[in-house]
Amino acid sequence: MASVPYIFADQVGPIPLSELDANFANCKASAATANTVLGNAQANITSVGTLTSLSVSGNVRGGNISATANVIGNNFVGNVYFGTGVLSGTGNVTSGNLFLTGNGLIVGNLLVQGTTTSLNSNTITTNDLTITVGNNQSTGSALNGGGILVGSSNRAKWQFNNLTTSWQSNIAITPTANGTLSLGGTSNYWGSAYITNAYLTGNIAASGSIYGGEITTTGQVSAAGNVIGGNVRASGNVNATAISVAGNITAAIVSTTGTITASAFNGSGSGLTGIAGNLTVSNCGNALFANSVVAGSYTINEASGILYFKYNNVTIATLDSAGNFTAKGNVTAFGSI
């Protein structure tokens, strides 16, 4: 038996007035539910409750559009909120704000004309080979300070300094382990190195000069130019065109074709007293020696104010402070004294 609301679309014959009266009486109760709305224009729908699905061929406009399922359309205008669903469109998405509670995947290009806001991220991964900062600047002064800052209080910095045209760090730069990495290479030399103190476990070799407040190595010091510093200490050899230090030179062998200038020579080997090995100098200038000078089998040393000349450790002549010269063999002189 039919019930309210009565359907008359396919009814044949007269319509009972009781059914019409029942439909009119029930209009208020049925106004919130509609199967099909006919007509090309309707008044605004202010409340529709929750829709299981909504499909339109035109535009959907509103202050906010919120959905937990998929939102598919050509154009979106206004604020769009969606949670676990998918926003898909073949046209434009134009909105005041776009809120994603899930992931955002952009297959094409991303163009931002306004200001970007960075959010925290544990890891940033990119297939690009370079990262450019300050791409809207072309002068060094405008790029001054550009680089990488670590920590909320900038605990570590790696920044460009325009005044010195260099990268600067506020903390030390170290390799991952001892003796595993090189600074420069055999075909990529650094220019000049300005260092207060240098402590090395290997060799120091330079194609130019070496200048330092303290030069210390367990290997060798070798320079095609000069070695100039406060103290030079090496367990190996020190070789240079000229060596000048304000402090001490301590080495196995010190060799130079120029002049050696130092406050003291320290060591305990053969050769000059105070030198661990041999001292080879083409032009020594004026030198003061504490005890002896060795040249091959000849030795010159001083004791109690007397200068002794020896050959194979045997005294062959002496010279005292009064000018008396005594020789074991003959004395040949030209001129007068």
Taking phi over 0 as left and psi of -120 to 50 as alpha, with beta for the rest, 70 belongs to: beta
Joined together, the tokens standing for residue 231 give: 């103290």
Over residues 232-268, the pLDDT tens digits come to 888 888 888 888 887 777 777 777 777 677 666 554 4
Distance between first and last Cα of the chain: 159
**285-316 burial, b if ≥16 CB within 10 A, otherwise e?**
eeeebeebebeeeebbbeeeeeeebbeeeeee
pLDDT of the residue at 137: 94
SS3 sequence, 64-77?
A: EEEECCCEEECCEE
Instruction: Check residue 275 and give its pLDDT.
Output: 46
**pLDDT tens string 142-183:** 999 999 999 989 999 999 999 999 999 999 999 888 878 888
Residue 238 has a pLDDT of 83
For the chain, the domains span: 140-169, 200-327
Q: What is the pLDDT of residue 288?
A: 47
Contacts of 209 (CB under 8 A, 6+ apart): 223, 225, 226, 227, 228
In whole angstroms, give the CA distance from residue 312 to residue 146. Answer: 70
User: How many whole angstroms separate alpha carbon 266 and alpha carbon 234?
Assistant: 11
Beta pairing, strands 298-303 & 292-295: antiparallel
Q: Using the 8-state DSSP alphabet, how is residue 7 labeled? A: -
Q: Are 76 and 61 in contact (CB under 8 A)?
A: no
Q: 């600067």: which residue's tokens?
A: 168
- Regarding beta strands 306-311 and 298-303, do their DSSP bridges make them parallel or antiparallel, or are they unpaired? antiparallel
Share of the chain above pLDDT 70, in %: 67
User: 77-90 burial, b if ≥16 CB within 10 A, otherwise e?
Assistant: eeebbbeeeebeee
- What's the rounded Cα separation, in Å, for the pair 276 and 269? 4
Note down pLDDT in tens along the chain; length 337 residues: 467 777 777 778 888 888 777 877 776 665 555 555 555 555 555 566 666 676 766 666 666 666 666 666 666 666 666 666 666 666 666 667 777 777 777 778 888 888 777 777 788 888 889 999 999 999 999 999 999 999 989 999 999 999 999 999 999 999 888 878 888 888 888 887 777 777 777 888 888 888 878 888 888 888 888 888 888 888 888 888 888 887 777 777 777 777 677 666 554 433 344 444 445 554 444 444 445 666 678 888 888 889 999 998 899 999 998 989 999 988 888 877 6
Tokens of 7: 């359907």
Tokens describing residue 111? 């163009």
Q: What is the pLDDT of residue 64?
A: 64
Q: What are phi and psi of 41, to 5 degrees?
A: -150, 135
Provide Rg for the chain, Cα atoms: 48
Provide the CA 182 distance to its chain's centre, in angstroms.
Answer: 16
Distances (CA, A) of 104 to 98, 101, 271: 11, 9, 79
The pLDDT score that the predictor gives to residue 59 is 67
The predicted structure's pLDDT at residue 180: 84
Rounded CA gap, 304 and 281, in Å?
A: 28
